[in-house]
Structure 1
Amino acid sequence: MAATESSIFAIPSLFQASTKAVIHNLHNYEESLWETPENIKQAILRLMSKRGLITDENIDKVLTPRLRSLDLSGSKVSDECLFKLSSVRHLVKLDLNSFKESNQSITSAGIISLSKTCPYLQIVYLRRNINLTDDAICALSENCPMLRELNVGGCILLTDSSLRALGESSKSLKSLNIIASQVTDDGIHSLCQGDCSQVLTEIDMSGCKHLTDEAVELLLQSCPQLRILLFARCPGITENSRIALEEKLLSTEGAQMKQVSWTIY
């Protein structure tokens, strides 16, 4: 019985207990983080990220040169935080999604700076950062050539210029979320003209009020690897898209599609 109980109620290691103690008393230890060994910094950073404790003021104290993934989705940060990421040049993934409410503190200036200091970015989540403009997406596309996942859903200021830049420069783009943006059929056409059309597997363009059936047909015709296509709440899309989609699903290529979602007006 004793052996069974010990296996169920695992005792945290001294390392785990120590890092949690630092988090619980962060205001007392914050300055000493500068001199903390890299492996301990990484553990502290993960806990701070989970608890939304990262700020513009403390971010640079817990960054390490070999950091590859950074989750800021639960923390309240601004462009000032992004300006400090020059020390993590080999960052591959950055999560700046805003889930609870729209975020206004991240602007194009911060993303442009990020794209220049972290050129190896492949996965960037920027959902509901409502002050981002096309300049931010153009910079990411031009400066981060390995970009393969981009979520800018709810970034309501984005237009066809963003899709044009992605079509021209983001050859590896596989997943794109442009929910509730201002894109039109012309932007989808530009995206489909780019090399990424041959590798694009997922696109969510729900809530894009300026799109029509042409956008759906372009994607179905131009993107042979497309597996997930979402276009709910697009009032300009009609029954014709449903018919085109059903024809696609009956084809050999269409049989490989995993998820589709739409609303017909």
Structure 2
Amino acid sequence: MVQRIAEGCPSLLYLNLSCTLVTNITLRELSSLQYLSLAYCYKFTDEGFLYLTTGKGCRRLIHLDLSGCTQVSLNGFRYISTGCPSLTEIVLNDLPTLSDNCIMALVAECRCLSAVSLLDAPNLSDAALRAIAKVAKLRTFSTEGNNQFTDWKALCTSSPDLCTLHATECLRMTDASLRSVGALKNLQYLNISLCIKWIQYLTEGASSAKLRELNISHCSRISDTSVKRITQRCIYYCTHTPIYPASLNLPLSQCSPIVSLDGVWKLCKNMRDLEHVDVSHCVALSDSAIRALSFHCRGLITLRMSGCTKMTDMSVQYLTTGAQYLRELDVSGCVLLTDRTPHYLERICPPLCSVTMTCCSGISKSAALKLQPRVDSWEHNSVHPPYYRMFGCIESSEMSVKTSTDPAMRLI
């Protein structure tokens, strides 16, 4: 089938073969491609990439996705490096067997890389980071769940135009590394959740000037001072007027509850253009904090405040009076909410179109059902709060309601 496609479409540039049973024969037939995905294909071997170095091959290839292809070994990456010298984007997610030598073999000839994704590659060390930094000038770099990456200085120094950095669960990221990240002048997206570090090095450096999205969830050392620095520094200047970050993720999920009303007030007052906010599990936040949020951030589109155990119906009432453009709301685990909450939410339906009220034991099923004709999707159950805190929301047919306006997707 792929052979017929290749013969009939000689100018084909994009081909997604992910999760298929293609073999080495398929790779032999491909040529002229610029984008190729072989993610989670297990039938081909290293020899398939040997065809890239002989004959026509895919020497114009600029994007390659090999996520989940654990059968590719060191030789395979050598063949890719030789056969695809123009490669600029490589996706190597879900490869627990990926080694430093594989990365070194890849970058030996691929010196045009601008985007690298290494999610779930726990065996890579600083040697891999240095090998990439030596030849590449990245604009996007992603990694997750790596406990061996410690020195990010080389990468940040060699890629001054890095604009997207996703580095979650990198528990050994040092303060010196954060200083290097903070020095990036064009950084727009940064995710360092679960890194458990201070963020002062980010707010003191040049990177804060253009940040559009910041995720520091599960970073336990966030205080009111940190929030103040974020509001003072994280401003993106365009050619006309300053624009504040449109998406700020500051949930502190299951972290130290040291962000108070004062911190939230400063956040909202100085960043009025916020559209997406996550304050989940900020157990110190109360109705007054939500009042400040709804009063200052009237353009709010998405709000997640699950697990905020001090929130009452008054918080929802504040939202329905201030944040009148709200489209998505998550109040899961807010155990003090009652049947008044669905009543208040009806006032802003539409534009409110998605409501999540799982593990809200104070909201009855009958009250929740009244929202059904007013929103596109919603969830509700009355699971006892301890189950929410310990295991997440456990849904059952007796206590959970999840609906959608599409009949084919409706589940009750």
- TM-score where L is the length of structure 1: 0.74
Partner of 2:191: 204
Deviation of 1:201 after TM superposition, in Å, equals 1.1
Q: Give the C-alpha shift of residue 200 in structure 1.
A: 1.2
1:73 pairs with 2:67: yes
Q: Deviations over 1:179-236 (max 9, x none)?
A: 111112221112334xxx1111111110112x114234235x5431111111111123
1:238 to 199, 223, 227: 223
- Structure showing greater relative contact order (alpha-carbon pairs closer than 8 Å, 6 or more residues apart): 1
Give the superposition deviation at 1:52.
5.5
SS in 1 for 2:106: helix
In 1: Cα distance, 2:20 partner to 2:174 partner: 49
Correspondence for 2:86? 90
Q: SS at 2:46's partner residue?
A: coil
Task: Give yes or no for contact 1:53–1:75 (8 Å, CA) kept in 2.
Answer: no
Name the counterpart of 1:144.
136
Q: What's 1:158 paired with?
A: 149
Q: Deviations over 1:66-117 (max 9, x none)?
A: 111101114223433222212101101101122xxxx321111111221221
The residue aligned with 2:212 is 227
Output aligned runs, 1:8-27, within 5 Å. Answer: 15=5, 26=22
Task: Give the ranges of 4+ consecutive aligned residues of structure 1 lying more than 6 Å apart after TM superposition.
Answer: 16-20, 22-25
> Which segments of 5 or more consecutive residues in structure 1 lack a partner in the other structure?
1-13
What displacement does 1:50 show?
6.9
Q: Name the counterpart of 2:46.
A: 56
The answer to whether residue 174 in structure 2 is matched with residue 179 in structure 1 is no
Q: Is residue 260 of structure 1 aligned with residue 260 of structure 2?
A: no
Structure with bigger strand share is: 2
- Does the CA-based 8 Å contact 1:164-1:190 persist in structure 2? yes
Change (3 A) 1:66 1:130: same
Task: Return the offset for 1:15.
Answer: 2.9
1:175–1:202 CA contact under 8 A, matched in 2? yes
Residues in 1 aligned to 2:48 and 2:69: alpha-carbon distance in whole angstroms: 11
Flag the 1:136–1:25 CA change in 2: closer, same or farther, 3 A: closer
Report which of the two has the higher share of helix: 1
CA shift in 2, pair 1:92/1:244, >3 Å? same
1:80-119 equivalence runs, <5 A: 80-85=75-80, 86-98=82-94, 103-119=95-111
Structure 2 gaps, min length 5? 10-14, 257-412
Mapped to 1, the partners of 2:122 and 2:21 lie a distance apart of 33
Work out the number of aligned pairs and report it.
232
Distance 1:69 1:47, change over 3 A: closer
Distance in 1, matches of 2:20 and 2:217, equals 43
The answer (yes or no) to whether the contact 1:213–1:240 under 8 Å persists in 2 is no
Q: Which has the larger radius of gyration?
A: 2
Aligned residues: CA RMSD: 3.3
Q: Percent identity?
A: 22
